[in-house]
Structure 1
Amino acid sequence: MTQTASTPDSEEDAEFQEHEKILSPDFLSTVQITDLLTENVDGIQEKLRMFLNFKNLQTCLKDAILLDYYVSGFLWAKGMDFSITQCSKFMTLLNMLLHNLKTLHMSLEDNIKWLGEVMAEIGPNHSQRIHEWNIFDVKRANAIVDYLKISIFQHYKLYEFVFYSPREEIVIGTEQVIEIVNTGGGPLPKPLEEGISFDIYSKFIEPPPTLDQEMKGLDQEQGDEETQPETDTLDTDPLVGFTIEDVKSMLTQVTDDMFTDVQTEINEKLQIQEEAFNARIEKLKKA
């Protein structure tokens, strides 16, 4: 049985292959990262929305929160002047942290331990002999840990709520049925003037007459005015056959009857008030 002696080159190749597995495949491709680096804040948000296929940002709170998570992370990495490779690995790191929470149900402690193991591989490691393997230096690795501390780790319970807690669908709006009064001789009476505004009444219930109806009404009024002189000539004076004395006596009789009724009504009211005052006076006397 033969044994193959390990050489430094073979150990470096094995270590290099193990390093290639860290955070692979990338969450965003190199082309996508390059495209995002040329955009402003609004452009980055729109491009990430397209890359992540988020379509219901206006109605889905979960999609809006996740988009804000990735946009904030990319803007921070851009402000740190990360290279394309560093931005790609950092965005993949953000995605894997959410994957651990959502799919693997990792607790906060387990996710922090996982982050420490990953940063030991992609961060500074003085035992490594090939410097190109160190994607992040000490300063940037510490900055990444500080950023994750104030972003996902500080709000870990809220992200758990987003993924694990079902939310009820809230229906905003109600359906109302309005019965319109039928004015065409139906069983319902016409609405009261104080029960509905004139705009609604004239628009929906009794619309204003059309031009043809107005023209017909004008023609009819003009026809009535033309025939009125003829009818006036045919009408006779109702006072024909009465003398002035007859008119005076009739007016005197009518006015006497009116004044008599008024005087009687006044006397009755005065009698009622007198009785009421007498009753009050009696009560005062007894008191």
Structure 2
Amino acid sequence: MHIDLKGKTAIVTGSTAGIGLATAKGLAAAGAAVVVNGRTQQAVDRAVQAVRVAVPGAAASGIAADLGDIAGCAALVAQCPDCDILVNNVGIFGPQDFFEIPDSEWTLFFETNVMSGVRLSRAYLPGMAARGWGRVVFLSSESALNIPADMIHYGFTKTALLSVSRGLAKRMAGTGVTVNAVLPGPTLSEGVAAMLGDEVKATGRSLEDVAVDFVKTLRPSSILQRPASVEEVANMIVYACSPQASATTGAALRVDGGVVDTIA
């Protein structure tokens, strides 16, 4: 399958590392002009360079904006007022006991993980509809279905994204614009590597070995029995953004290694 996105502009939020950066590289390799995003100019500049190194000749640019509030989202839209592909990837996570999570943390997670995608979709979808073509992908998680007891606030936001993406797909019916959610499972991103860092230091074992044990212990239903790579998740996202995915909309596309134990 040859995915051709030449002539399309793609914005990938939270794309200075991890799944977001892998997605930016994948979209650039398919010919899209890619706009990466992060909170600091330094991180954005590094990501733009990484895309250009991975894909020589890539049309890559970047916008530094913190999408965890209204002002940050408005700043991104002001600098890039139009796009054909929007990947709502930006998100935060971290284990924390329910009884220790203050209101401010719930609000931060909701604003960053959910409202960033709501605000940007509201800004960009009308233009896609007017042109008769567009792709919006929300990064949900297997945690949307398999709520982790130690990250209830995170799981809650990822469940919300399933509702938003499904509802938006219905709202855009017949326009040529598709809206989908992608649900990664345990993925060996920089964020997960940092979370496992103490165990790596304490045991002297490799990050890969610790990550496999993490999956087997905390996600025992995993069929893959290892974390996915960021590239494996990005492959699903790039497909959802492709012309070939024209009949896929309103879907929850799982790339969770079989963690969610259901056939539907």
Same fold (TM over 0.5): no
Q: Which category of TM-score, normalised to the shorter sequence, fits these structures?
A: under 0.3
Answer 1 or 2: higher relative contact order, Cα 8 Å, separation at least 6: 2
In terms of fraction of residues, the more strand-rich structure is: 2
For normalisation by structure 2, the TM-score amounts to 0.22
